[in-house]
């Protein structure tokens, strides 16, 4: 799996997702994670999961994808906002710091 494109602020989010997947779906193989267009993208192979398990897996992953939409990519706070055309999610503090730099 490659996740070199994951922002530092999402470290805990991705770590928690990996732990949840390992605990609840140990046979699932995550093939890619990225922060494409400012939100978490996760690709995985379901293996031999039945239909009900696939629905539970999709819902689990979707919870973390949704959480990424409000998680600051810089500091990890839960107060991030989409910054439009830049395709990044930052909190007001980190946005101010990046504008002042």
- Tens of pLDDT, residue by residue over 2-13, are 455 899 999 999
Quote the percentage of the chain above a pLDDT of 70. 90
SS3 42: strand
DSSP category for residue 38: G
**pLDDT attached to residue 100:** 55
Residue at token pair 């995985």: 44
**pLDDT band, residue 59 (cuts 50/70/90):** very high
Q: Residues 10-29: what's their mean pLDDT? A: 96
**pLDDT attached to residue 1:** 47
- The C-alpha angle with vertex 82 and arms to 95 and 92, in degrees rounded to 5, equals 25
């Amino acid at each position: 799996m490659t996740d070199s494109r994951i922002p530092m602020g999402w470290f805990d989010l991705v770590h928690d997702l990996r732990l949840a997947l390992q605990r609840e779906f140990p046979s699932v193989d995550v093939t890619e994670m990225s922060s494409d267009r400012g939100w978490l993208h996760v690709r995985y192979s379901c293996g031999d999961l039945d239909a009900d398990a696939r629905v539970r897996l999709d819902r689990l992953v979707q919870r973390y994808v949704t959480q990424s939409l409000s998680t600051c990519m810089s500091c990890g706070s839960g107060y991030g906002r989409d910054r439009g055309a830049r395709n990044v999610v930052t909190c007001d503090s980190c946005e101010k710091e990046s504008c002042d730099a």
